[in-house]
Chain A
Amino acid sequence: MATFVKKVTVLGNIVKNVNNCTKRLSSHFVYHPDNEAPVEGEKTKMNMMQAINNAMDITLKTDPSAVVFGEDVGFGGVFRCALGLQEKYGKDRVFNTPLCEQGIAGFGVGLATAGATAIAEIQFADYIFPAFDQLVNEAAKVRYRSGGQFSCGGLTVRAPSGAVGHGGLYHSQSPEAFFAHAAGLKVVVPRGPKTAKGLLLSCIQDRDPCIFFEPKILYRSASEDVPIDSYTLPLGKAQVLKEGEAATLVAWGTQVHVLLEVAAMAEQQLGVRCDVIDLMSILPWDEETVCNSVKKTGRCLIAHEAPLTSGFGAELAATVQEECFLHLEAPISRVAGWDAPFPHVFEPFYLPDKWRCYEALAQLLKY
């Protein structure tokens, strides 16, 4: 399914350009490093790629059943997330598979069913769809259909997702909403190195199959002091990054940084403060944190890169409307990618950037 052209040309360019993406895409977002430490102890500077590598390293070191596999994982992966792991742990633990996503997912379900810890990589989230059947009909339902006799909780599927500046249709997608409709799966998106390490370790150790979407634009552009010890961040829990009373802003992945900037703009230009929430877990999601915030602020703006119609924002909006009806002072606002395939040269017009989010917030506050 993944094409030869993909590998040879597009991929090469992306890898090269991801290195420069901060510069190239400075208009899209500014990375806001995490200042709070998730745990005490020694820290070292890591970008998100290194934090993910570190999480897999810790897993391979501590769990002898753990294996890491996927297309081109052996030499370190096209985004270098598995760098050095094969040399360190051997070819039977970190290895290439044939180029076949349904095979990767099915193979991972089988490993986990037999009790192993399986960390599968899908090279781009855009190519996860051949594995959709294995993930939705199989992985999500193993425990339920067997009455708890079997499970594939040891499975974690990692996939780079989201906009990267020039990825076009098949190197930019954010497919979380497709999976949010599959009871039995957990779907998680980190916003930077610290959350990536903690959430990935949680996914790997969790007793349910997890899909971990890594915003690829952050692999190298996001860098911060990450604790070197093992630590986990809870799944199904959102995080309030900034507090205010004018509105609740909700996002995940790269878009969190866009909304943090929008909140700063609102503070500066409109003199209002907003709650900014990183949802982190898409499925199951933290209804309590989001609804408590909206009950306080009375206004809610949700933003995501994926298309608007049936995007995960729709689920959030419907629940917030039902739970916070008497507190809402304006209709819930959704700022998302347009209902079109993700375009190449039009990317700056397609993304829900800070200006589109800022305008939506301004309207929301005026309502």
Chain B
Amino acid sequence: MALKSGVSFIRLKRLSHGIRSLSTHIRPETSQNGSKNADFPGAKAPYVTEMKILNENSYDPIPIYRVLDNNGEVIDRREEPKIETETLLNMYKTMVQLNQMDKILYESQRQGRISFYMTNYGEEGIHVGSAAALSPRDMVFAQYRELGVLLYRGMTVTEIINQCYGNHEDPGKGRQMPVHYGSKQRNIVTLSSPLATQMPQAVGAAYAFKRIPNNDRCVICYFGDGAASEGDAHAAFNFASTLECPVIMFCRNNGYAISTPTSEQYRGDGIAARGPALGLNTIRVDGTDALAVYKAVEKARELAMANQPVLIEAMSYRVGHHSTSDDSSAYRPVEEIHKWMQDEDPVQKLRLYLEGKGLWNLESDKQFAKEARDLVLRTMQEAEKKKKPHWKEMLEDVYYDMPLNLQKQMNQMEKHLKKYKEHYPIDQFQSE
């Protein structure tokens, strides 16, 4: 990786006049002997006569790009993104709406009203910062902790809650667990549970876009630091780079994969360090800073549209439990969580920034939070009353046309239900 990263660094510098911290890998001394490259086809590298083994300490760690400090003040005025007021307010409101949804849906799972839920606490800045910098036509491949992206894209609270309840208005027809959203019209590919599988898929979709004349779309693919250990992640990085796809690979590094801390996930310099090694444009950002995320994604989109794939690693902290099936106090100290909630809360940072610009105040904050909360509660009450889809939906959409074996099985079930109706929760489901 020694010279490889050096080479990418030079190429990157040429490509990205704007972003200073796109890559900070330093060329190790071993390769600075001025000799010309050897002829091996596998690498462009010179010979050296001094033996030196490289490891993660041979390079400076990739620094974390930030625009705001934790009081919501811009550190370097030149880096402040130019975002329209309406967009800024939309970003902030999406965060608040997301928080209210998380709070209420998490509680409703505790009360047994939905079967499962996953909150987004601590990662709100990643969601709205990235979503705002993209075109609504760009295709999103997500993991599962990106609800803010979906909300920002215009998915309604009703659609999201219908999915969690699996009622007949869920476009997914109640087939998947809660939080597995998808929306064709908003270019959000339906989520699935197997981790990292969406990564090479996102690269393939990007390749399809690239081949469309006058393409104006890129693909963004979100994944966690844990998912990055899957083989599919490696496949995706390598395919994106060798096949020159208009794709942004966006890693949410929140420090944990369920209970596994990053020290047990990898030993290199996070996920970002893998980017230059595989020939990807790479940047690491402060994921609690929505403006830094916005700037990085804005630039990444520009590169991606020139068929230069980009890897972004956004650093954050998973403030909530992994899911409703997890109690994170079993593996991490509560003080650690509190520290992140107080000092580096992405919602607070953006609010302070907006207040500093005179765009928001305590009064509007209170009022909007209440509206957001009421909307969620009202929608939940409605969603709860809606019936689940007809049981026959269980066997639809397996194939485009239903094959004979499935038709036969549907008839069997129909006959069975006629006879044993009272043993099934049939009144909760739609009937013909």
**A243 proximity list for chain B (CB < 8 A):** none
Q: How far is the CA of A138 from the CA of B141 in the complex (A)?
A: 13
List B contacts of A84 (CB < 8 A): none
**Chain A residue nearest to B187 in the complex (CB):** A114
Are the C-beta atoms of B182 and A106 separated by less than 8 Å?
Answer: no
Task: Say whether, besides A183-B398, A284-B403, A133 and B197 are in contact (CB < 8 Å).
Answer: yes
Answer whether residue A41 sits at the interface, using C-beta atoms and an 8 A cutoff.
Answer: no
Q: Which of A43-51, A143-151, A159-167, A246-254 contacts B (4 or more CB under 8 A)?
A: A143-151
Distance in angstroms between the alpha carbons of A145 and B192 in the assembled complex: 8
| B197, A138: Cβ atoms closer than 8 Å | yes
Interface size, B (range): 35 or more
Q: A175 within 8 Å of B by Cβ? A: no
The total of interchain contacts (Cβ-Cβ below 8 angstroms) comes to 156
Q: Are B208 and A145 touching (Cβ within 8 A)?
A: no
CA distance A98 to B232 in the complex (A): 13
Q: Inside 8 A of B141's CB, which chain A residues have their CB? A: 110
- Chain A residues near B171 (CB-CB < 8 A): 146-147, 149
Q: Are A110 and B404 in contact (CB under 8 A)?
A: no
Kindly state whether residue B204 has any CB partner on chain A within 8 Å.
yes
A42 interfacial contact with B, CB 8 Å: no
Q: Is the CB–CB distance between B235 and A102 below 8 Å? A: yes
Cβ A150 vs Cβ B205 within 8 A: no
A208 CA to B404 CA, complexed, in Å: 15
Please determine whether A288 and B404 come into contact, CB atoms closer than 8 angstroms.
yes
Are A145 and B207 in contact, with the CB atoms below 8 A?
no
Instruction: Determine if A110 and B206 form an interchain contact, defined as CB atoms under 8 angstroms apart.
Output: yes
Q: Which single residue of chain A is at the shortest CB-CB distance from B171?
A: A147
Within 8 A of A (CB), among B122-154: 139, 141
- Give the complex CA separation of A218 and B234 in angstroms: 35
CA distance A207 to B399 in the complex (A): 8
B205 touches A110 (CB 8 A): yes
Let me know if A153 is at the binding interface, CB within 8 A: yes
Known: A114-B139, A133-B197. A150 touches B192 (CB 8 A): no
Most chain B CB within 10 A, of A109, A113, A153, is at A113
Q: Which of B190, B243, B400, B401 contacts A97 (CB 8 A)?
A: B243
Please state if A114 and B235 are interface contacts (CB–CB under 8 Å). Answer: no
Q: Say yes or no: B204 contacts A114, CB within 8 Å.
A: yes
Answer yes or no: A204 CB below 8 A from chain B CBs. no
Task: Check A103–B172 contact: CB distance below 8 A.
Answer: no
Q: Do B189 and A113 touch across chains, with their CB atoms under 8 A apart?
A: yes
A141 at the interface (CB under 8 A from B): yes
- Would you mind naming 29 contact pairs between A and B with Cβ atoms under 8 Å apart? A67-B207, A67-B211, A97-B239, A97-B242, A98-B239, A100-B231, A100-B234, A100-B235, A103-B235, A106-B200, A107-B201, A108-B204, A109-B204, A110-B204, A115-B208, A118-B204, A130-B231, A143-B397, A144-B397, A145-B172, A145-B180, A147-B172, A147-B175, A147-B182, A149-B184, A151-B400, A184-B399, A287-B404, A287-B405
Taking A98-B239, A110-B202 as known contacts, 11 extra A-B pairs with beta carbons closer than 8 A to each other, sorted by chain A number, are: A65-B208, A106-B235, A107-B200, A130-B231, A133-B232, A134-B197, A134-B232, A149-B172, A284-B399, A284-B403, A284-B406
